[in-house]
Chain A
Amino acid sequence: MGLERSEIHGILKEKFGDAVLEDHVEAAEPFVVIRPDAWEEIAFFCRDDQRLRFDLLSCLTGVDYPDRKVIELIYCLDSTPNRHWLVVKAALPRDNPRIASVESVWKTMDWHERETFDLLGVTFEGHHNLTRILCAEDWVGYPLRRDYVMPETYRGIKNVIY
């Protein structure tokens, strides 16, 4: 019923042309890399296009690559009516990672984006309440960055490191 991964990638490339930077359909888990500034438009298209109908963004996560100086976001899109899925990656500059919020496309992205902001420090422009969600409100630093150092004390509790 659903489309092949190569067909999905083909539809995206046909529609967005050079906004799709890389297409790894041969990878074990096929993915496309997109230009970050086109993300919101692509997201709306993925949700509303009748062939794609990605009505669920099941996971947003990110990886810090200090050697490439990027933070890579990984969006996993699911289509419950069409039973196919898609992985979209976007590489953001490490010193100022910003991307459009897609909270208005998938409501579930509210917490996902807050989590990624909390742990990696990515700013999602247009998010209505971009605050920390897992760490305490006054936490310092972004724990999933490779160069993160644990605080020695937090609110008077020693972080003993054995």
Chain B
Amino acid sequence: MTLENLNPDPLIKDVVFLQTVDDLVNLTRANSVWPLTFGLACCAIEMMAVGASKYDIARFGSEAFRATPRQADLMIVAGTVTHKMAPRVKRLYDQMPEPKYVIAMGGCVIRGGPYVKYGYHVVKGVDLILPVDVYVPGCPPRPEALLEALFKVQKLMKREKILDRTRRTTKPEVYVPQAV
């Protein structure tokens, strides 16, 4: 009896034949998340603290901060996103390979933070320009909070399926950068 004879429901096919492969791939992926090296303002200091010895993100497999978006699968937007910086951030995001995840770290990135009312130059939330997976509130958030966000991202990664790409393709595209 072959697979074609059975004509299984796509979902069944996925679950029965690829579940273990998915699990294995996701396990490896979630335990070596490579964040993109970039910080925009004060929150980046806390992000660096997470990378340093006291909080040591290496315990969870994410110590390899990549200096190029092509090798990164996690973007930690740490710091104030200004209007001038927004096209650059968006371009970095676009250059990252799928599957990619975004952590919005700090009040500025979530809704403009201290600049929410009079900050003419601040984008009021990075989710206006790119899809965000995990929000970390705080000004700045403590390093533990960022670690918690990393665990959340790892959980999301463990839900990835090889066959089902809908989560990746249905992310809202809000903003198309124009050349500056």
- What residues of chain A have their CB less than 8 Å away from a CB belonging to chain B? 134-137, 139, 143, 148, 150-151, 154-162
Q: Which of A143, A156, A160, A161 contacts B121 (CB 8 A)?
A: A143
On whether the beta carbons of A156 and B125 are closer than 8 Å, the reply is no
B159 at the interface (CB under 8 A from A): no
**Main secondary structure on A side of the interface with B:** loop
On whether the beta carbons of B111 and A136 are closer than 8 Å, the reply is no
- List residues of chain B with CB within 8 A of the CB of A160: 112, 124-125, 128
- List residues of chain B with CB within 8 A of the CB of A136: 83-84, 180
On whether the beta carbons of A157 and B128 are closer than 8 Å, the reply is yes
Q: Which of B111, B118, B180 contacts A137 (CB 8 A)?
A: B180
**How far, in Å, is A133 (CB) from chain B's closest CB?**
10
On whether the beta carbons of B123 and A157 are closer than 8 Å, the reply is yes
- List residues of chain B with CB within 8 A of the CB of A150: 118, 120
Shortest Cβ distance from B86 into A: residue:
A157
Q: List 25 A-B contacts (CB under 8 A).
A: A135-B83, A135-B121, A136-B83, A136-B84, A137-B180, A143-B121, A150-B120, A151-B120, A155-B86, A155-B178, A156-B175, A156-B176, A157-B83, A157-B86, A157-B123, A157-B129, A158-B124, A159-B120, A160-B124, A161-B117, A161-B124, A162-B111, A162-B112, A162-B116, A162-B117
Complex CA gap A139/B86 in Å reads: 14
**How far, in Å, is B90 (CB) from chain A's closest CB?**
10
Complex CA gap A155/B90 in Å reads: 13
- List residues of chain B with CB within 8 A of the CB of A151: 120
Report B27-51 residues with CB < 8 Å from chain A CB.
none
B residues contacting the other copy or chain, number (CB 8 A): 20
- List residues of chain B with CB within 8 A of the CB of A155: 83, 86-87, 178
**Main secondary structure on B side of the interface with A:** loop
**How far, in Å, is A23 (CB) from chain B's closest CB?**
35
- List residues of chain A with CB within 8 A of the CB of B121: 134-135, 143
- What residues of chain B have their CB less than 8 Å away from a CB belonging to chain A? 83-84, 86-87, 111-112, 116-118, 120-121, 123-125, 128-129, 175-176, 178, 180
Complex CA gap A128/B83 in Å reads: 26
Shortest Cβ distance from A143 into B: residue:
B120
If A151-B120, A157-B175, A159-B124 touch, does A135 touch B129 (CB 8 Å cutoff)? no
**How far, in Å, is B120 (CB) from chain A's closest CB?**
4
Complex CA gap A135/B125 in Å reads: 18
Complex CA gap A57/B17 in Å reads: 72
- List residues of chain A with CB within 8 A of the CB of B120: 143, 148, 150-151, 159
**How far, in Å, is A21 (CB) from chain B's closest CB?**
33
